[in-house]
Each structure stands twice: as structure tokens, then as C-alpha cells.
């Protein structure tokens, strides 16, 4: 391409090197630099992608008229000031999850991007994996029928984060996926959350989150820093079929089960004893769709460029990041109320229809 956009990666820690590598490999982008307060760390990332300019000055990056966009891979507490400064400087912004460390600050970021006519994209990487894209396609095509429930498990041993609890660390992955694939996304009236702190860290290390969705489904998320086994699994049950996504099984990441309770065939008893209802079960086939293996971040940076080029919101735009923040915000209020349901703040846009 002759109209490549120029991007700078801000943050050279855990996620920054992955962003740098994918921007460097993209045909849509020219990687214009790495910005980090630690110049030695920035230099290592630069050397890993063949050498690009490095700087410790964000002001220098934002003042450069040849920089079109920045990709932020810094701690969540820093997202708001960096994003606001970048938007005010006329730069498009991609920011890793969570969008911000607070729903109100996230709302300010989204509003500022809209005011400036700039792209603000949430780096919800899982939404660009072949497996999740296929899940979205199957649900949109009606292969599962009406969605009844979503059970998600994301557990492992460590890493105990110093500044956020297990909900803010792990749940954004699953919440962003639900928002991406479900009809209506993360549309819920309330959220209930229960957390446990057996290590005495002052924050939840084990957590359970439940919310009834407006599409009629019940969603449940289990997150845990203390499990000796690592599980990354989501089960989505529908009136026609049930889908199981096992992200740690590259040979069979997706399985679709044509067996379960046949909702349409359930007869309702007219007697007072509801046990008289007849339950019918489906005993059909199980199949696994073939999926390509490719790095999801390549799709993320490609979508970022396409959204800028076409003047449209990204598939995982700031509003999607804000919907995730709104669930986390409600979960924190529920935790403070001993697990009582906390209403979801509804000053956000519903997800657009699948594209």
C-alpha cells in the first residue's frame, strides 16, 4: 500500500512487544516508534522488530504531525490521561483492555473520540480469533437457536496483580467475547458478584459473576488466580444446539453438540405439580468446524486501520469497551453489597448488529 498509516506503540512491557511485532508486519501500517519511560525496555522492543525510533516522551510523540495513531499498552490507571491527550492531539487510539480503570473515565474517553471524529478502539484481542469469529457467525446464522445460557471459566495459577482484582484482570476477556457474539451483546439489567480473598491481598482472588441478559440468557463467569489447572472454556447453550469453546485445545477449539433438552417438545403440565411436565431430550451428532490458525492481533491492527480508512467505528470500538466497564463497575458495587444484584448503568449504546 502507498497510504500506510504511521503508529507508535506506547508501553514496552508485557503486551507492547506483541503490538509492535504486528504493526511492523502489517501492510496497513508503518511502525513509527516505541514510547516508554524505560528507554532500555523500549530499545529491546525496537531491536526485536528490526529497529525503530524510541523515546520516553509521550509529548514528543503526540506533537509529531506524521504520527497518525498510537496503540496503548500501559497499566489501566494510565489509560485515561494518555487517551485524552492523544485524542486532543488528533491521534486515533487503540487501547488494551480494560478500556479504563473506571466507567466514568471510560465514558469521557468515548465522548472525546466522538467529539473529535477519531477512532477509539478497544484491543479485545479474543474477538479477532478464528474461533470467536466462528462463534459469532454460528449464533448470527441461528445455528444454536435462541441463546439460553453462557457459562465461562477462566482460571489459572497466578499472576496476582498489584493494582486490580481478579474480576478486572480476567473477566474483561470473557465479557468482551459475550458482547461480541451474543444478540444484543452485554445488555443486562443487573449484575451479581461474589469474591473471595483467601490470601489476604485486600482484593478478590476468586470470583463469580452472574447476570441475566435481555436476550433471555443467563450468563455466568468464573475467574480464579489460585487454580493449579489452567482452563479457558466457554459453553453457550441454545434451543437448537450447544457450543463448547476450549481455547487450550488447538486440535478442536470448537465443538457443536446437537444434543440436550428439546425445549420445543417440553409439555407443560396443567396440574399444580410441575413435576408432571414431560422432558424430551435430543440425542444428535457432535461436530467441530475447521478453523484456520492465525494470530488474532494481526486482525486487530488490520481492523484499526480499516476503521480509520473507512471513517467508521471499529468492530470493538470504545462503546464495546465501555459496556465491559459497565459490567465491571456493577460487579464492584455488588461485591460491596455482599453479592446483592447491582443495576447496570445504562448510559451506553447497545451493540450494533453483527457485521
Picking from 256, 260, 258, 262, the residue whose alpha carbon sits closest to that of residue 243 is 256
Taking the CB of residue 205, how many other CB atoms lie within 10 A of it? 21
Q: What is the mean pLDDT of the chain?
A: 92
Query: pLDDT digit string (tens) for 289-312?
Result: 999 988 999 999 999 999 999 999
Query: pLDDT digit string (tens) for 310-333?
Result: 999 999 999 999 999 999 999 999
In the structure grid, which three cell numbers stand for residue 300, read together? Answer: 486487530
- CATH 3.40.50.720 for the 5-125+297-317 domain, yes or no: yes
Q: Residue 271 above 70 pLDDT?
A: no
Q: Residue 353 above 70 pLDDT?
A: no
pTM of the model: 0.90
**Cβ 109 vs Cβ 100: under 8 Å:** yes
- pLDDT attached to residue 305: 98
CATH topology of domain 127-293+324-343: Dihydrodipicolinate Reductase; domain 2 (3.30.360)
Q: Residue 220 above 60 pLDDT?
A: yes
Q: Is 224 in a helix, a strand, or coil? A: strand
Picking from 307, 319, 316, the residue whose alpha carbon sits closest to that of residue 350 is 319
- pLDDT attached to residue 223: 98
Query: pLDDT digit string (tens) for 21-36?
Result: 999 999 999 999 999 9
Query: pLDDT digit string (tens) for 131-155?
Result: 999 999 999 999 999 999 999 999 9
Give the H/E segment covering residue 229. strand 226-238
Give the residue carrying C-alpha cell 446483592: 340
Start and end residues for every CATH 3.30.360.10 domain found in the chain: 127-293+324-343
- The arithmetic mean of pLDDT across residues 211-218, rounded, is 91
**Cβ contacts of 137 within 8 Å, gap of 6 or more:** none
- The arithmetic mean of pLDDT across residues 99-113, rounded, is 95
Q: Where are the alpha helices (DSSP H) in the chain?
A: 16-25, 39-48, 58-63, 79-88, 103-116, 130-140, 166-181, 296-310, 318-336
Picking from 231, 111, 126, 248, the residue whose alpha carbon sits closest to that of residue 176 is 126
- pLDDT attached to residue 1: 44
Start and end residues for every CATH 3.40.50.720 domain found in the chain: 5-125+297-317
- Residue 279 confidence class, pLDDT cut points 50, 70, 90: confident
Amino acid at each position: 500500500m502507498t497510504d500506510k498509516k504511521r503508529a507508535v506503540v506506547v508501553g514496552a512491557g508485557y503486551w507492547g512487544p506483541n503490538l509492535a511485532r504486528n504493526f511492523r508486519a502489517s501492510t496497513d501500517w508503518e511502525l513509527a516508534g516505541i514510547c516508554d519511560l524505560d528507554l532500555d525496555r523500549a530499545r529491546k522492543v525496537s531491536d526485536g522488530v528490526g529497529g525503530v525510533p524510541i523515546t520516553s516522551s509521550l509529548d514528543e510523540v503526540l506533537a509529531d504531525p506524521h504520527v497518525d495513531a498510537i496503540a496503548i499498552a500501559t497499566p489501566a490507571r494510565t489509560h485515561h490521561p494518555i487517551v485524552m491527550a492523544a485524542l486532543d492531539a488528533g491521534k486515533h487510539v487503540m487501547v488494551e483492555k480494560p478500556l479504563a480503570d473506571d466507567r466514568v473515565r471510560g465514558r469521557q474517553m468515548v465522548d472525546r473520540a466522538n467529539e473529535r471524529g477519531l477512532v477509539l478502539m478497544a484491543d479485545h484481542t479474543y474477538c479477532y480469533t478464528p474461533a470467536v469469529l466462528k462463534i459469532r457467525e454460528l449464533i448470527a446464522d441461528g445455528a444454536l437457536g435462541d441463546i439460553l445460557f453462557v457459562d465461562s471459566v477462566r482460571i489459572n495459577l497466578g499472576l496476582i496483580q498489584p493494582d486490580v482484582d481478579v474480576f478486572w484482570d480476567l473477566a474483561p476477556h470473557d465479557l468482551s467475547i459475550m458482547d461480541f457474539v451474543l444478540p444484543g451483546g452485554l445488555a443486562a439489567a443487573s449484575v451479581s458478584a461474589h469474591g473471595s480473598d483467601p490470601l489476604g491481598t485486600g482484593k478478590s482472588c476468586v470470583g463469580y459473576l452472574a447476570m441475566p441478559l435481555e436476550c433471555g440468557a443467563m450468563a455466568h463467569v468464573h475467574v480464579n488466580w489460585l487454580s493449579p489447572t489452567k482452563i479457558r472454556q466457554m459453553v453457550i447453550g441454545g434451543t437448537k444446539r450447544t457450543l463448547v469453546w476450549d481455547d487450550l485445545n488447538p486440535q478442536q477449539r470448537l465443538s457443536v453438540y446437537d444434543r440436550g433438552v428439546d425445549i420445543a417438545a417440553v409439555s407443560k403440565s396443567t396440574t399444580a405439580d410441575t413435576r408432571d411436565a414431560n422432558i424430551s431430550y435430543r440425542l444428535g451428532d457432535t461436530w467441530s468446524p475447521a478453523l484456520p490458525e492465525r494470530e488474532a492481533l494481526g486482525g486487530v491492527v488490520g481492523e484499526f486501520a480499516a476503521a480509520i480508512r473507512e471513517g467508521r467505528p471499529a468492530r470493538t470500538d470504545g462503546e464495546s469497551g465501555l459496556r465491559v466497564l459497565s459490567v465491571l463497575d456493577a460487579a464492584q458495587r455488588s461485591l460491596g453489597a455482599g453479592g446483592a444484584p447491582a443495576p447496570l448503568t445504562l448510559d451506553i449504546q447497545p451493540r450494533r448488529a453483527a457485521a
